[in-house]
Structure 1
Amino acid sequence: MPTPKFILDLRAKIGHDLLWLTGLTGVVLNDRDEVLLVQRADNGRWSLIGGILEPGEQPAVAVVREIQEETAVVAEVDRLLSVETTPPAAYPNGDRVQFLDLCFSCHALGGEARVNDDESTDVRWWALAALPDELSARERTCIQRALSPADQPSYITS
């Protein structure tokens, strides 16, 4: 998916300066205890589904939209798992960003998992016991939180 217009408009004003954005991460589980992952087109790494909250959009609605846009899977949000700030990052073009990320646990309602946009090269359900090695520690923690019976989100305090 191309860069959203609101970000292009901001970049026209601020250049490559650090841009603070609200990010979304979805841990999508199915009834076979598998997690939905995408293989990113930009770096080839398997990861959880993620995206950016658009102005005026509700976070739970946005994460469901991102899941469907990227994977063609229809999902429903179960609960908020965590709220945390990710470290600043830079894109190859020099744009700098930092995200306040909202991670949600979701379950699949339907749809066939497939590549549904240009952000991914593969989409697949993965058994929890056979997750790809390149998942980040943060993504693994998100998955553990989704599997936990705790119903309160985690707020990073350090």
Structure 2
Amino acid sequence: MATPDFVLRLREHVGHGPLWLTGVTAVVIADSGEILLHRRADDGRWATPGGILEPGEQPAEALVREVWEETGVKVVPERVASVFTEEPFTYPNGDQVQFLDIAFRCRPVGGAPRPDAEESLEVRWFPPGELPPMDERVLRRIRLAPDEGAAWYAEPAPHPAGS
């Protein structure tokens, strides 16, 4: 994923220190049930498209922009599927991040799958039973997206007695 300019400016001040960032992820499901995935240019792994919110940007707006940039597919976000605080992560260059990820279930409404050559090496539709190997966090988002119920989130810990 290309690093947004606002993160590069922050890195001038904090170096490789931890940054808390908000990410959005699209689980794009076609009428056929196929799922849109792209093979990331940074690590070569298959994943759902997504990215980082720019300052002042709304999550759904960022999601539509990121999916279009990375895959060439136009989408409409249908609902929030899950909200997770991901584990801290260190990029190969030493930059430390931790993401709050908001995953949306989306439906495609136009465009044609194509890699952008900057963030995506390949873009394809996959039947749900024929997904390529992926990180568990990506698979978790896909598993939670088809459910028509409420968005998934980690339940808060119970309040201590007497609070």
Q: TM-score range by the shorter chain?
A: over 0.9
1:92 aligns to what? 92
Question: Is the partner of 1:116 in helix, strand or coil?
Answer: coil
What displacement does 1:147 show?
1.2
> Are 1:123 and 2:87 counterparts?
no
1:42 aligns to what? 42
Aligned residues of 1:24 and 1:50 also touching (Cα < 8 A):
yes
Question: Is the partner of 1:139 in helix, strand or coil?
Answer: helix
What TM-score, normalized to structure 1? 0.94
Distance 1:89 1:145 in 2: 22
2:58 aligns to what? 58
Off by >2 Å, runs of 4+ in structure 1: none
Aligned residues of 2:64 and 2:77 also touching (Cα < 8 A):
yes
What displacement does 1:62 show?
0.6
2:142 aligns to what? 143
1:65-121 Cα distance to aligned partner (Å, 9 max, x none): 100000010000000011110000111111100000100000000100110241111
What TM-score, normalized to structure 2? 0.91
Q: 1:76-115 residue pairs with structure 2 within 5 A?
A: 76-115=76-115
Amino acid paired to 1:147 = P
* Structure label with greater radius of gyration: 2
Superposed CA RMSD in Å reads 1.3
- Return 5+ residue gaps in structure 2 as ranges: 157-163
- Return 5+ residue gaps in structure 1 as ranges: none
